[in-house]
Structure 1
Amino acid sequence: MSKPLIVITGASSGIGAATARLLSAQGHPLLLLARRLQKLEELSLPETLCRGVDVTDRDALQAAVREAEERFGPADAIVNNAGVMLLGRIADQDADEWERMIDLNIKGVLYGIRAVLPGMVARGTGTIINVSSVAGRKTYPNHSAYVGTKFAVHALSENLREEVASSGVRVVTIAPGAVETELLSHTTDERIKSDYEAWKKSAGGALDPQTVAEAIVYAYQQPPNVTIREIVLAATGQQA
């Protein structure tokens, strides 16, 4: 029996790429989305449609999902993993960085949900998996705007779960602590980046993206009548 289609955003590296490899190995056709199309294609996964889509482009995201569904059938799940972490102090951080995080971390998640949710509700089945962060549950120095976007992901995910629970659609929030990905590289304040790296080292290192991918797949593979509402995971040495 063939496996259903799964959509993964931000799939060019880190958690998204690890999740793509894992789900592909289990036989799922995939729609992989990221701005870096070449990185997606380098994964060389079978039965996979790769599209160079920025998830802040609602029309392009919708079009890619429709194209994948025409080829592989209805999307049974989406992993809204695309996101950006731009750390800084509110008093001196470039406001354009706030805009980028709001557009990608909040609007991008909403656009991903909207691209698949109507079909899921109509079919009475489906899983929305939103990758948030421990920073969606507590605060950290120099994280104010980023924390705001991740608290939003937690809130919208829980409210959405309440909206669609009676329709047979599951909503899962994945909240990892520090992960060894490219996320920190986008921060422009070198002092903050240095302090963050020192903090990770003091905690004995960060999570491997594969570990987070396994948590995502664990939640997805539960029976349809079971929703893992939230998974919070972090390196054992990460105190905060």
Structure 2
Amino acid sequence: MPKPLIVITGASSGIGAATARLFSAEGHPLLLLARRLERLEALGLPDALCRKVDVTDRAAVEAAVREAEERYGPADLLVNNAGAMLLGRIADQPVDEWERMLDINVKGLLYATRAVLPAMVERGAGTIVNIGSVAGRKTFPNHAAYVGTKFAVHSMSENLREEVAATGVRVVTVAPGAVETELLSHTSDERIKSDYQAWKESAGGALDPDEVAAAIAYAYGRPRNVTVREIVLAATGQEA
């Protein structure tokens, strides 16, 4: 029996790419969304529809999901992984960095969710996994705007879970600590980047993205009448 479609945003690197590889190996068709099409195609995964889509473009997200569903059938899992981590202090961080994080981390998550949720509710089945963060549960220096977006992810996820629980749709938050991804490289303040890297090394390194992908697969693989509401994971040496 063919396996159902899985949609992954921010699939060109890090957690998204690791999750794509894992579910592809399990035989699922995929819709992979990211701004870097060449990175998606370089994954070389079978039955993977790769589309250059910025999650802040709601119409493009909707169109890609409809195209994939026409080819592979209804989306059974959405992994809302696309995100930006731009660290800085509220007093001097460029305001456009706040706006970019809010657009991607909050609005982009909502846009992708809307693209799959009504059909999931109608079918009475489906899973949405939102990638939160330990920074969606506690604060960190130089993280104020980013923390705000991740607290939003956690609260929206829980509220959505309450909304759809009776319909059979599952909502899961996966909240990693520091992960070896490209996220830090987008921060514009070199001192903050250096301090973050030193903090990560002092903890003995960060999580491998494959570990986060495995957590996503674990939650998705539970029986349909079981929702793992939240998974929080971090490198053992990460104290905070």
Q: Normalising by structure 2, report the TM-score.
A: 1.00
2:102 maps to amino acid = I
Instruction: Check if 1:74 corresponds to 2:74.
Output: yes
Query: What do the CA deviations read for 1:114-158 (whole angstroms, capped 9, x no partner)?
Result: 000000000000000000100000000000000000000000000
Shift of 1:8: 0.1
Shift of 1:231: 0.2
2:129 counterpart SS class: strand
Question: Where does residue 189 of structure 1 map in the other structure?
Answer: 189
CA distance, structure 2, for counterparts of residue 121 and residue 102 of structure 1: 26
Structure 2: gaps spanning 5 or more residues: none
Question: Where does residue 210 of structure 1 map in the other structure?
Answer: 210
CA distance, structure 1, for counterparts of residue 144 and residue 125 of structure 2: 36
CA distance, structure 2, for counterparts of residue 70 and residue 195 of structure 1: 47
CA distance, structure 2, for counterparts of residue 34 and residue 174 of structure 1: 20
Instruction: Check if 1:113 corresponds to 2:106.
Output: no
Question: Where does residue 4 of structure 2 map in the other structure?
Answer: 4
Question: Where does residue 84 of structure 2 map in the other structure?
Answer: 84
Kindly report which structure 2 residues correspond to 1:1-240, keeping only aligned pairs within 5 A, or say none: 1-240=1-240
1:7 counterpart SS class: strand
2:127 counterpart SS class: strand
CA distance, structure 2, for counterparts of residue 167 and residue 94 of structure 1: 42
Using the aligned pairs only, state the percent identity.
79
Shift of 1:218: 0.4
Structure 1: gaps spanning 5 or more residues: none
Query: What do the CA deviations read for 1:76-99 (whole angstroms, capped 9, x no partner)?
Result: 010000000000000000000000
Query: What do the CA deviations read for 1:175-227 (whole angstroms, capped 9, x no partner)?
Result: 00000000000000000000000000000000000000000000001000000
CA distance, structure 2, for counterparts of residue 211 and residue 56 of structure 1: 27
2:154 maps to amino acid = H
Q: Normalising by structure 1, report the TM-score.
A: 1.00
CA distance, structure 2, for counterparts of residue 126 and residue 22 of structure 1: 19
2:215 maps to amino acid = A
1:209 maps to amino acid = P
User: Alpha carbon RMSD of aligned pairs, Å?
Assistant: 0.3
